[in-house]
Structure 1
């Protein structure tokens, strides 16, 4: 690209990770897209107290626009985004999602692209299967392209069945500028750390993979971070619950325990091919990662060599009972090297750049052919 391609994205939040698990994904991807020659403006609503819990200033690699969480605020933002070369509606904005899903395709013209970027495709698709009247059924085919946070062949086929013109998974990745090894901190000490907000489709798996092994190993200390676990949850005395962990502390959190546990949400575990940001954050920091079993894990990390795959709470307890510090460090370092070589956001951004520029160029060529045919017919 000789000139920068302008990209407008409507998402949950770029500047706050508060109740916003997609923040790391947005930041890593958009920073890398900027390096690839994109001029990105990120539009987010002032909602859910995210602006009161910001954990970063406006970045130099994207323009951040926070609009009022009102219909007028949304329409003003849409009008500002109208002239972008690529206009993206991400899933899970949290405010006026249905309206944005309908309005963004209306900004489509001959010289631009409209994209739906699904950061929780298994959940979106399940919602559509459960409700044939879901308004998004009528919108899918209106987008030039659907990108997904993951999901592999099952998600691609499902979106095609729902009418998507094209669907491509753009997986999570490592941002080595943000997630990397740091010295351990005593406040995050423990045998096993888990970081994740309390969500309905995650809670049962947290009880199985984290709370159960903590109860089975009362002499070992466990570290728990994330919002929502301080109400009506029976935590055993050996669990140190530290609440919401700001992104500035993620590296220390991941580097201070013997191992770190990833627990997928039910829908992602069922579909597979959906590595969450926590996998890349922890492994990128050199942590020894324990991961609940799901199909496609080996596409990113090799089980037993770069990640320890566990099927239930008893297996978590068994692993912790025999895992040594030396073994944990070796596994974590192998994982970090694998991600740096194959799975950084720079790798993902190059994929997105090729895909979007190719699609955009195709739209422009098609428009020119149509115009020439029209002139010839006059």
Structure 2
């Protein structure tokens, strides 16, 4: 059994971020394989008021108020861990990363769930949570994005950039026998760069198909958003309700952030979640997508309103079920949290082991 310390954006709150779902699946898989995981999370008010998993049962979770408390209470945990992971968008991430590298005795990896966004920020001189110096200092760079982006990370000095894609927890995301209330739906936090695609691939089809029902779920949409009358809006869905939400749709829509679409090879966790539920996905297009799903058989690609309307009008129930089943099989073959946990074991040379109730672990200082 190994001890792994993770300093991440959040595992306790999924409000307005996809990190929590990703961390929960990964940590749960690591625990199932016998590892002891400690998750250290900055206590911030916007997550404190929206915690949907305050005490995850598969890891030891500790909140800290600032870097002084992080150093005072958790130095021993990081020092004695077999491996340490620092995530993207951690508050004061540069200083936290330097602190982890200085305290850890084992390898320290940077887990970038936002790689194209990170590199775009660095190109603008924005060093919110990472610097070029830190890229070279981290022992491994776990990149949300594969393809040519890995070469870019090597050019920036990373000694070991590896594709570490998001993944899905099949215990949470699987087909459910629920009423299908919506013809097409979308789950995602509002972002200005995605909104034109949402307009083109969901809101415009909803106006064309006024007898069908559509749905959008996610926080931070402007109050003046013009929703068509046949589009329902759900402000926030906790991860526990994502599966039923997807399974309540005939088709679901995947929209990719602009930076990630430009980089390619950047599947989102929402894409894998929907596919694992056996729901056929209509997605925008980007380089590398065919490495994850076979277009036309496992996923449907659209760039125009007319293409979406054609899919909704022309694909019968048998075709719908076949695409959903093929997508689910593709995810279960290669993109579950257990696949990522095994990848971490290989990267850090860790061995899976059964849990021992008598194992003693370093505890935080009071």
TM-score (norm 2): 0.89
* CA deviation after TM superposition for structure 1 residue 55, in Å: 2.0
| 1:66 matched residue in structure 2 | 63
* CA deviation after TM superposition for structure 1 residue 42, in Å: 0.6
Aligned structure 1 segments of 4 or more residues deviating by more than 4 angstroms: 132-135
Equivalent pair of 1:117/1:146 in contact (CA under 8 Å): yes
Q: 2:270 matched to 1:278?
A: yes
Structure 2: distance between partners of 1:128 and 1:209: 31
| 2:140 matched residue in structure 1 | 145
2:230 to 238, 241, 247: 238
Larger radius of gyration: 1
1:221 to 199, 209, 213: 213
What SS does structure 2 have at the residue aligned with 1:200?
A: coil
| 1:179 matched residue in structure 2 | 173
2:154 to 150, 160, 170: 160
| 2:85 matched residue in structure 1 | 88
Structure 2: distance between partners of 1:82 and 1:234: 52
| 1:12 matched residue in structure 2 | 9
Unaligned runs of 5+ in 2: 351-366
Structure 1: distance between partners of 2:277 and 2:296: 18
Structure 2: distance between partners of 1:213 and 1:75: 53
Structure 2: distance between partners of 1:49 and 1:155: 32
Equivalent pair of 2:14/2:51 in contact (CA under 8 Å): yes
| 2:108 matched residue in structure 1 | 114
| 2:323 matched residue in structure 1 | 331
Structure 2: distance between partners of 1:140 and 1:193: 38
The superposition leaves residues 128-169 of structure 1 with CA deviations (integer Å, 9 ceiling, x where unpaired) of 1222878611211111111112x2122211111111111001
Bigger drift between 281-290 and 295-304 goes to 295-304
Q: 2:199 matched to 1:207?
A: yes
Structure 2: distance between partners of 1:210 and 1:107: 49
| 1:40 matched residue in structure 2 | 37
**Alpha-carbon distance change, 325 to 292 in structure 1, aligned in 2, over 3 angstroms:** same
Q: 2:293 matched to 1:296?
A: no
The superposition leaves residues 196-242 of structure 1 with CA deviations (integer Å, 9 ceiling, x where unpaired) of 00123322332232222223322321111000225221111111001
Equivalent pair of 1:196/1:225 in contact (CA under 8 Å): yes
* CA deviation after TM superposition for structure 1 residue 321, in Å: 2.1
Bigger drift between 214-223 and 284-293 goes to 214-223
2:310 to 279, 297, 318: 318
Equivalent pair of 2:3/2:81 in contact (CA under 8 Å): yes
The alignment of Structure 1 onto Structure 2 pairs a total of residues equal to: 348
Choose between structure 1 and 2: higher helix proportion: 1
Unaligned runs of 5+ in 1: 359-378
Cα RMSD for the two superposed structures: 1.9
The superposition leaves residues 155-190 of structure 1 with CA deviations (integer Å, 9 ceiling, x where unpaired) of 21111111111100111222111111112246xx21
| 2:18 matched residue in structure 1 | 21
What SS does structure 2 have at the residue aligned with 1:341?
A: helix
Equivalent pair of 1:36/1:353 in contact (CA under 8 Å): no
